[in-house]
Amino acid sequence: MMDLTQRQWVKHAVIHPFEGFEDMRWKKSGSLKIAMLIVLLLFLGEIAYGRLYGFQFYISYDKTFNIIPYIVRSFVFFGAWTVGNWSVCTLLDGEGTLRNICIYSAYALIPYIVQLYVNVMLSHILVRDESVFMQVLELIGTCWTVILLFSAVKSVHQYSLKKTVFAVILTIVAMLIMLFLLVLFMSLIQQVYIFISTVYTELSYRAKV
């Protein structure tokens, strides 16, 4: 089997969706540092897509920059997918470790990330009548990433086709549950903060009086 560098393995996995991850698994390849860099590029790409898109295609009415939505769409979603898939597939006798799931899933995001940056650049070059090219590019990048994610789950856990579909569905359900619990937790933290702040303000006022 081929002997590639870590960067070459990334290219091999993306270009060969049905055998790239299988080859990576047998060679025990994959870099966690590269995976984290890819997730960081996803974060920056989401910001570029939301804030630097050509004005003729997208107008932002936000008066202030809020980084939270971009963190959610990159780091939080990716973390929820990784942990959710690991949790579900542990119950389904999957062979993948949390580290490998993280690496393979990050590699699978590359087509989607590439189309983010390319579309941002094209939005400053093309006119509105040519937006179909950007839509096609977005569709290709998204579908390619979906195929890679499916292949990554199948390869890292050594599942059959049907079991992979079942695992992906359960992973999405697990993500929704985790995100729902996260929203509840953040809401609880906010309520506690408001309560403490109110008590502190009241005590400060009474102390001055």
Instruction: Please give the model's pTM, rounded to 2 decimal places.
Output: 0.86
Sequence-distant (6+) residues with CB within 8 A of 20 are: 12, 13, 14, 151
Distance CA 177, CA 6 (A): 34
Residue with tokens 């993280």: 102
Per-residue pLDDT for the chain (209 aa), expressed as one digit of tens each? 567 888 888 998 999 888 889 888 888 888 999 999 999 999 999 999 888 887 777 766 666 778 888 999 999 999 999 999 999 999 998 888 999 999 999 999 999 999 999 999 998 888 888 888 999 999 999 999 999 999 999 999 999 999 999 999 999 999 999 999 999 998 999 899 898 988 888 888 777 66
CB-based burial, 102-128: b 16+ in 10 Å, e otherwise? bbbbbbbbbbbbbbbeebbebbeebee
